[in-house]
Amino acid sequence: MTMTVIACPKCGAKDRIDDQQAATRQPICGRCGTKLDLSAGSNGSHPLEVTDATFQKVLQEAGDKPVLIDCWAPWCGPCRMIAPTIEQLASESNGRFLIAKLNTDENQHTAAMFGIDAIPTMLIFKNGEKVDQSVGLQPKQAIEKRLAAHA
């Protein structure tokens, strides 16, 4: 039996999901009953990959939880430099924030919608609205401070 641990996007509880049962039934949080998204990563410790197709749904499902979206591209040196910081933020968020990545080369519609013309760009959303934006390499503490300001 294979189990996956997922952090609930609403209350932050860590839920163990039986992968075989999840194939036939929608998993829900044991604490608050929220539907769990298995695509959010094996244990909620990795950023969620966002696309043009999933962007609005991700923001909607996050509710009032702050969402950090790292806009990046594979060829971008500074993007590769900040990637470990984004991974750390995701693994340490404990459900307080949703950390996601948007490949701007593959998702040009969303990048254009927010006027992304330099990367890495970090967008912070709350209640589906953009509340903050920063461009370029940022230390982890600065990103955490920006996220905490919207928690």
CATH code of the region 48-148: 3.40.30.10
Question: What is the pLDDT, as a whole number, of residue 41?
Answer: 42
- Of the listed 8, 29, 71, 79, which one is catalytic? 79
Quick check: 36 and 15 in contact, CB under 8 A? Answer: yes
- Per-residue pLDDT, averaged over 81-92, amounts to 92
Structural domain boundaries in the chain: 3-40, 48-148
pTM for the full model? Answer: 0.71
Question: What is the pLDDT, as a whole number, of residue 45?
Answer: 66
Instruction: Give the pLDDT band (50/70/90) at residue 43.
Output: very low
Active site residue 32: no
pLDDT in tens, 97-108: 999 999 999 999
- Strands 67-72 vs 121-126: parallel, antiparallel or unpaired: antiparallel
Active site residue 11: no
Question: What is the pLDDT, as a whole number, of residue 56?
Answer: 93
pLDDT in tens, 49-85: 899 999 999 999 888 899 999 999 999 999 999 999 9
What is the sign, positive or negative, of the torsion defined by CA atoms of 52, 57, 60, 61?
negative
Q: Describe the crossing of helices 77-92 and 140-148 by its angle, rounded to 10 degrees.
A: 50
pLDDT in tens, 2-31: 666 676 766 667 777 776 666 677 888 888
